[in-house]
Amino acid sequence: MSQEVFLETKLLSSLVKVFPGKELNCREHTEGSMLGNEVYSFQLAYKWKGPLVKNVRVRIESELSPFITVRKVGLIPSEMPCYADHDDNVLSTEPGLYPDILLPVDGEGLVFLPYQWRSVWITIEPCNLANPGSYPVEIIFEIGCGEVLAKRTFHVRIINANLPKQTLIHTEWFHTDCLSTWYKAEVFGNRYWDLVDKYIKTAVRHGINMILTPLFTPPLDTEIGGERPTVQLVDVQKDGSSFRFGYDNLKKWIDICLKNGVEYFEMSHLFTQWGARHAPKIMACEDGEYKKIFGWETNALGKEYKCFLDQFLPSLVDFISKNNLNAKTWFHVSDEPLLEDMEYYKRASMLVSGHLKDFPVIDALSGFEFYKSGLIRKPIPSLDHIDAFLENNVQNLWTYYCCGQYKEVSNRFFNMPSARNRILGMQLYKYGIEGFLHWGYNFWYSQKSRYPVDPFSVTDAGYAFPSGDAFLVYPGDNGPLESLRMEVFFEALQDMRALSLLEQFAGKAEVVKMLEEGLDSPITFKRYPKDADWLINKREEINSKISEFCR
């Protein structure tokens, strides 16, 4: 009997999540288009209906083969996929295995498990090295000495146009202490710097162009009285009430970032999270001893910390200026201050404002009332609180989401459909958003950093956040392993850039009109099409209109 009798296959878009025990009721996706410098992904799902088979090879036959990567979509456990009061735009509320990690297809190939749907993730990245035109991409499953189990063909059309440069400033907070902990790599040792390089390279390839820079160990998601491993880049020498500063490690960090294409440096917060009441952990050499000189025990508004800042910030600004980083540098005061923190935040802001008057200062917050106080020049409201800022015409607006934005708005938890992840690009375009922030590029600790976790098995930061909130990448043996959530978010950024290109030809009003054509209501951050096919078809329509202008 032919092996094909045992194998069912289905070509799918990147927006389908393939669960092993669920039937695939979505339509096949057998063709698509892309711009010359774009990254395009699709999937080939397969279900084996016979005894277990190992060492299945995946082979690509296409003129585009040099530009194609094949990875298998791995399953990752989720004990906490959502909160109890979730909305209905989810795929499942059950704990279990979710498709997320993208793994290389190594020499042992694929394993065909009986009666389970699985998929391979196929990425086309021609980097402007392929001529415009239509290309068949043949995907072949084979075993043994070339016995073919299945052969499917996807057709991709490369359009004679390029995505413009990304203008959105995008940061996903990079936690280098998590690198040191997982890989047992000494901070500032050769292995540490090699990992920093690789993780930044992957970040930039996915549209992350701003990097959280740990001047001192960032005071983020840390239990009051607790500490995270020291990763401060600035050397401090304390002599009584006088301080001297060394920037060798900061310079090395900046050089790695610039080499990899980082455009902006987001200096770590100068005060603790949720209130600005304390100083971050700061280590210094004093009388020959390396020790902590500031931390939870430090009153953020006390004269000792003020004395330190009055010496440190002018020195740092001088370093920034000498390295031509003035236009690339942004600062934080304290993350997510609440209304009851306003007085502390105000006084903390005043401590640094004179030194940082020439730099943008950004902080995440939710309340428009806090912004109205005038304390934050560039607020970052969460997606579910952005309406008040838009209604009041706040210019050059940023936004963010985290675990708290799980109703109505876009997000990227394991249990959410990929369309809910990708729609953000079109929303950011429509509203002209300047920047997007998320806190978890690689947070592999429990909530409040009490202990490290294994991100391959603990995906909720110790029953704290729905799976998918805390990290986008997994720690591979020699660098990051990407998630399908990361790839889909990058597709959202590419959608935004494609819309910007079309705007150059047709004007923004016409582009937004085209985007919303046929919808019952205009696109907002809370109201938007939820169907994956709508997104795929709309992007094809955008490409078609671009191609009309770029024949």
- Taking only the tens place, the pLDDT of each residue in 166-211 is 999 999 999 999 999 999 999 999 999 999 999 999 999 999 999 9
Question: Quick one: which H or E segment has residue 41?
Answer: strand 40-48
**Structure-token pair, residue 428:** 């950011």
Q: Are residues 126 and 62 in contact, defined by beta-carbon separation less than 8 angstroms?
A: no
Averaged pLDDT, 66-86:
98
Overall pTM surpassing 0.85 (yes/no):
yes
Chain segment 496-526, per-residue pLDDT in tens: 999 999 999 999 999 999 999 999 999 999 9
Work out whether strand 31-35 and strand 53-61 pair parallel, antiparallel, or are unpaired.
unpaired
Averaged pLDDT, 84-93:
98
Q: In one letter, which amino acid is 451? A: Y
Higher-confidence residue: 550 or 261? 261
Residue 159 has pLDDT above 90, yes or no: yes
**What confidence score (pLDDT) does residue 339 get?**
82
Sequence spans of domains, the chain: 3-159
Mean pLDDT estimate for the chain: 96
**What confidence score (pLDDT) does residue 1 get?**
41
CA distance 337 to 129: 48
Least confident among 20-34, 359-373, 384-398, 530-544: 359-373
Model confidence band, residue 5 (pLDDT cutoffs 50, 70, 90): low
- β-strand partners of 77: 97
Residue 245 has pLDDT above 80, yes or no: yes
Work out whether strand 40-48 and strand 7-13 pair parallel, antiparallel, or are unpaired.
antiparallel
Helix axes 484-506, 508-516, angle to 10 degrees: 130
Chain segment 411-464, per-residue pLDDT in tens: 999 999 999 999 999 999 999 999 999 999 999 999 999 999 999 999 999 999
Collect contacts of 8-11 with beta carbons under 8 A, ≥24 apart.
8/46, 8/47, 8/49, 9/44, 9/45, 9/46, 9/47, 9/141, 9/150, 9/152, 10/44, 10/45, 10/46, 11/42, 11/43, 11/44, 11/45, 11/152, 11/154
Residue 3 has pLDDT above 80, yes or no: no
**Structure-token pair, residue 507:** 């004007």
Q: Taking CA 500 as the corner, what is the angle to CA 499 and CA 506, rounded to the nearest 5 degrees?
A: 80
**Structure-token pair, residue 541:** 């329509």
Q: Taking CA 513 as the corner, what is the angle to CA 511 and CA 514, rounded to the nearest 5 degrees?
A: 65
Q: In one letter, which amino acid is 277? A: R
CA distance 256 to 478: 17
Give the CATH number of domain 3-159; options: 1.10.274.10, 2.60.40.10, 3.90.79.10, 1.10.10.60: 2.60.40.10
Averaged pLDDT, 105-134:
96
Give SS3 for 253.
helix
Going 512 to 513 to 516 to 522, the CA torsion angle's sign is positive
Averaged pLDDT, 467-489:
98
Query: Which residues are CB-neighbours of 194 under 8 A, at least 6 positions away?
Result: none
Closest alpha carbon to 532 in 384, 401, 421, 383: 421
